[in-house]
Structure 1
Amino acid sequence: MITRIETVAVIGAGYMGGGIAQSLAAAGITVTLADVTAEATSKALERLLREAGEFEAQGLFAPGSAEAIKANLKTADSIEDAVRGVDFIEEAVPEIPSIKHEVLRRICAAARPDAIIGTNTSTLPVKTLAPAVTHPERFLTVHFSNPAPFIPGVELVSGEATDPAIIPVVKAMLRRAKRLSAEVADVPGFVLNRLQYVLLKESNSIVEEGIATVQDVDTIVRSTFGFRLPFFGPFAIADMAGLDVYANCFQTFEDAFGERLATPELLKSLVAEGKFGVKSGAGFNGNFDPEMAAKLVAYRNKAYARMAQLLEELGPSPLEEARSTTSE
């Protein structure tokens, strides 16, 4: 069994596949790229090398990244040539099951039987793709987010047949590329898009009900709770705010909206046990001793202040500038 990934093939050279290839090549991993035709692959390589130089010049990539990508990223004329002999294969073709099935079959026909195969899919469960894979114990979802060169989080989704022993091997590769990985269950949408789409759906409802405009919803999200999210997830934020406070707020929501926004059972049980988060010393994230609580609050304050400074330094996004000009 493969214990360390040194060579990778990325199948699909679009913006997702190309960004994944850049990220791994910049980490010193040998990456072979292949797309639908040799010509398409060659054009993609030209774009990726040009972008890498631009990103480094802009300070978005670390010094030396463009050279590392140039040294470690190569192309193959076909899927079969790309995957032959490599340790890990990342399939990143369009989110259409029939296309993914065809590509996965071609990969399996040419790859080593022990090569680990990952699929980059936003919503498709492993169980819908695994039938196309021989030796499905080496198959899992390795879901990068767009734009792949800059978003650090990666979802790892095992199927029923996935060998648990390959997970630490994939995680080690991702760590080399300075990526954070999280293991989630094999359900449609996984975690990332289940949360993201629920937020978008509720945002649409708010606009449709006349509660706020599209622009005002975006402003609220990015300048309030969204301001916290680069540093803390929803459970950590709730622990700091107070789980008893959240329970009281959920009661208001339940009274107004019914079962759809009823108090979650896990939250109820913690509050019933007197676990209110940081202020009581225990919550969603386990125990908080006084020293940990003080460090957490100090980090939070520093993080939010730095975020405000960064946003001021960057200035408004082009979208916000356009909105401001339109409203004048």
Structure 2
Amino acid sequence: MTISTIAVVGSGYMGGGIAQVLALAGCSVVLSDQSAEIASANRERIIAEAGAFAEQKLFVADAAETIARNVRAAASVEEAVEGVEFVEEAVPEIPAVKAEMLGRISAANPTAIIGSNTSTISIGELATHVQNPERFLGVHFSNPAPFIPGVELIPHDSTRSSAVDAVATLLRSAGKSPATVTDATGFVVNRLQYALFHEATQLMEEGVATADDIDLIVRTTFGMRLPFFGPFAIADMAGLDVYEFCYRSLQTRFTERFATPDALRELVEQGKLGTKTGAGFRDIDPARIAELIAYRNEAYVRVQQLIDELGPHPFDERT
């Protein structure tokens, strides 16, 4: 199934950004909100934003014209979803509000694939409010939707695979990078993001470093790696034996909080130490290690060049 007609229910900051993305991909998009006036005002807002983004060379030159042509505002949710192939629900992150809206959407269109932009609410729980729930899944964009490529796809136990595939194809056509995850608490993005935030607040509260210095350290050290490598690839390149040793060091104070992961321990016991042995969490042909290292080094230099080109960081008063 190829999706070309879409309704975005909830036209605020996230919903409007999602509408921009899909309209620029050539889809016909209908916006709806609490009233026709709100939907219409937000349509005008995202067109104006697109013009500003184009001037900043963040969008293509004719982005505003494309969005104006491909997006219309509806008088009601029911009007917006009638006859479309896909509906993205982007109302506030309040379970009762989402449940009520999903019931309305699914009653008004019994066949469309329905996605929810929830960042934390159980998809299985929300599915109980959807008629024909096999067409329902989580489709979680990150903020700001026009500029963050990753999107979490979260099916529940009964979601049909064809619905997941159709939404993934749509997102790829819009330049996004969909990843399918299970319906676990926090999914992946927020479970990782909040784990980092939790540890950062612990460091601040313990007086180890200020919030400013913690932010500076993150963005100028391992934050430089994250645009190119995920945590498993980073661990493999560092050496899994090194990671195991660091866990033991952390355990001198934080026994439970930094318990060595079983998966890490098992790989080290097997002699799979990462890139240097060709096998770890992510295997690599030893003949390609030099290519990997060259890519890594160039990537880090180029991101620093981009940072320098952008100019002083707005939060860094010392620059």
For residue 16 of structure 2, the aligned residue among 15, 18, 22 is: 18
Please provide the CA RMSD for this pair: 1.1
Equivalent AA in structure 2 for residue 95 of structure 1: E
1:6 Cα deviation from its structure 2 partner: 0.9
CA offsets 1:173-211 (integer angstroms, 9 cap, x no match): 000110001111112210100111111111111011111
SS at match of 2:276: coil
Partners of 2:288 and 2:23 in 1: how far apart? Answer: 38
1:283 paired with 2:280, answer yes
Which aligned pairs between 1:39-50 and structure 2 lie closer than 5 A? 39-50=37-48
| Distance in structure 2 (CA, Å) of the matches to 1:13 and 1:221 | 33
Structure 2 counterpart of 1:69, one-letter code: I
Report SS of the residue matched to 1:324: coil
The residue type paired with residue 316 of structure 1 is P
Within the alignment, does 1:155 sit opposite 2:149 as a pair?
no
Unpaired runs of 5+ residues, structure 1, are: none
Q: Is residue 2:71 matched to residue 1:66?
A: no
Q: Distance in 1 between matches of 2:253 and 2:4?
A: 55
Give the equivalent residue in structure 2 for 1:207. 204
Give the secondary structure class of the aligned counterpart of 2:8: strand
Contact conserved, 2:277 with 2:286, CA < 8 A, in 1?
no
- Aligned position for 1:95: 93
Q: Supply the distance in 2 between the matched residues of 1:277 and 1:126 (Cα, whole angstroms).
A: 35
Match for 2:318 among 300, 313, 324? 324
CA distance in 1, matches of 2:23, 2:124: 29
Q: Is the 8 A contact 2:33 2:76 kept in 1?
A: yes
Q: Which of 124, 128, 147 pairs up with 2:121?
A: 124
Give distance in 2, aligned partners of 1:141 and 1:306. Answer: 35
* 2:305 corresponds to: 309
Q: 1:308 is aligned with what amino acid?
A: Q
Residue 143 (str. 1) matches residue 140 (str. 2): yes
Provide the TM-score with structure 1 as the length reference.
Answer: 0.95
Partner of 1:9: 7
Which position in structure 2 is the counterpart of 1:249? 246
State the AA in 1 paired with 2:284: F
Corresponding residue number in structure 2 for 1:84: 82
Runs of 4+ in 1 over 3 A off after TM superposition: none
**Letter of the aligned partner of 2:17 in structure 1?**
G
Specify the code of the residue in structure 2 equivalent to 1:233.
Answer: G
Q: Counterpart of 1:303 in structure 2: which amino acid?
A: A
Map Cα deviations across residues 48-76 of structure 1 (whole Å, 9 max, x no partner): 00000110110011233222212211111
- Corresponding residue of 1:292: 288
* TM-score, reference length from structure 2: 0.98
- The amino acid across from 2:30 in the alignment is T
Aligned positions of 1:259-270 closer than 5 A: 259-270=256-267
2:48 counterpart of 1:54: no
Q: Give 5+ residue unaligned stretches, structure 2.
A: none
User: Partner letter of residue 76 of structure 1?
Assistant: A
8 A Cα contact 1:26 1:66, kept in partner: no
In structure 2, the partner of 1:184 is 181
- After superposition, give the CA deviation of every residue in 1:255-292 in whole Å (9 maximum; x if it has no partner): 2210210111001111111111111011101x211332
> Which amino acid is 1:314 matched to?
L
Whole-angstrom CA distance in 2 between matches of 1:220 and 1:118: 37
How far apart are residue 227 of structure 1 and its match? 1.0
Q: In percent, how many aligned pairs have the same letter? A: 56
Kindly state the Cα deviation for residue 298 of structure 1 after the two structures are TM-superposed: 1.3
Q: Distance in 2 between matches of 1:182 and 1:200?
A: 23
The separation in 1 between residues aligned to 2:103 and 2:115, in whole angstroms, is: 13
SS in structure 2 at match of 1:43: helix
Task: Give, in whole Å, the separation in 1 of the partners of 2:47 and 2:63.
Answer: 10
CA deviations 1:155-180 (Å, max 9, x no partner) are: 01111111122111110000011000
Q: Distance in 1 between matches of 2:210 and 2:90?
A: 36
